[in-house]
Amino acid sequence: MPAVRILIVEDEPLIAEDLRAHLEELGYEVCATCDNALDAMGEIASHKPDLLLLDINLGDGADGIQLAEKVKAKHRMPFIFVTSHSDKTTLERVKPLRPAGFIIKPFDENDLRTQIELALARYANAVEATTAPTEAQRNDFVIAGSIFIRDKGRLVKVAIDDIHYAEADDNYVTLFTPVKKYVITSTLSAVEEKLKSPHHLRIHRSYLVDTRRITAVEEGYVRLGTQSLPVGKTHKEALMARIRTL
């Protein structure tokens, strides 16, 4: 199952390992840990994590705040400061960077889970330039080609290109991928708008399909391998126009 990928920048080995253990227990993937800003920039470029956890004090070299400035200049990804320092001077340095979150040591797993999910949601809403998030936006959101959803109590990411089709049933939408299906609370119209995919097309009031996955077009249906999906009369013309461009 795809997991949210997090990179840790912390110069205290015991704290870094404690963070890793907590994150993995919560179902997140720790793609790398670094103890200095220079190595962190290289690992960020290499791993392209979904989220950064940055300690502010990193010993010699640039500190976490200076690292965050470099990250903002070169990458688009959210970051959370993890620190034991919450004094006024530190907060004044941090505020202009608009971090997605701020965790004060010592922390527990509930703090981590809450801050991470809020950070990703805030970042997604900022990217979409939305103001007051809707209930659907609180439960699932899109960042950099993936939709982040809750599955069995944990936050997972699903690549938009892995969604072969979506099926609506009242206020629920099931996303079908090669490995499993995910059920989210939403309307199909909201999912279509959220994905903003040039490949996914509404073919029926209850179905949205990745047109690249269509293997055959029949009267009133399309096939995705052995799977048949209905085509609504009002959507047929748009479907055929899309098929001709593939």
Bond before 198 cis per omega within 30 degrees? no
At how many degrees (to 10) do helices 64-74 and 37-47 cross? 30
| pTM of the predicted model as reported, rounded to 2 decimal places | 0.67
In sequence order, which residues have a C-beta less than 8 Å from that of residue 112 and are 6 or more positions away?
19, 22, 23, 26, 103
Query: How far is Cα 29 from Cα 159, in angstroms, rounded to an integer?
Result: 16
In sequence order, which residues have a C-beta less than 8 Å from that of residue 168 and are 6 or more positions away?
187, 188, 205, 206, 207, 208
Residue 100 main-chain phi, psi, to 5 deg: -75, -20
CATH number of 163-245: 2.40.50.1020
Same fold, 5-127 and 163-245: no
Structure tokens, 118: 């809020």
Q: HSE (CB half, 13 Å, CA atoms) of 89?
A: 2
Q: Where are the domains of the chain?
A: 5-127, 163-245
Amino acid at the residue 66: Q
DSSP for residue 199: S
pLDDT value of position 135: 43
Query: How far is Cα 32 from Cα 19, in angstroms, rounded to an integer?
Result: 12
pLDDT value of position 157: 84
Check: CB of residue 141 under 8 Å from CB of residue 153: no
The CATH H-level (homologous superfamily) assignment of domain 5-127 is Response regulator (3.40.50.2300)
- Digit-by-digit pLDDT tens for the chain (246 residues) are 467 899 999 999 999 999 999 999 988 999 999 999 999 999 999 999 999 999 998 878 889 999 999 998 988 889 999 888 777 888 888 888 888 888 888 888 888 888 888 888 777 766 555 444 444 444 567 777 888 887 777 778 899 999 999 999 988 999 999 999 999 999 999 999 888 899 999 999 999 999 999 999 999 999 999 999 999 999 999 999 988 887
pLDDT value of position 137: 44
β partners of residue 83: 104
Sequence length of the chain is 246
Residue 47 CA, distance from chain mean position = 15
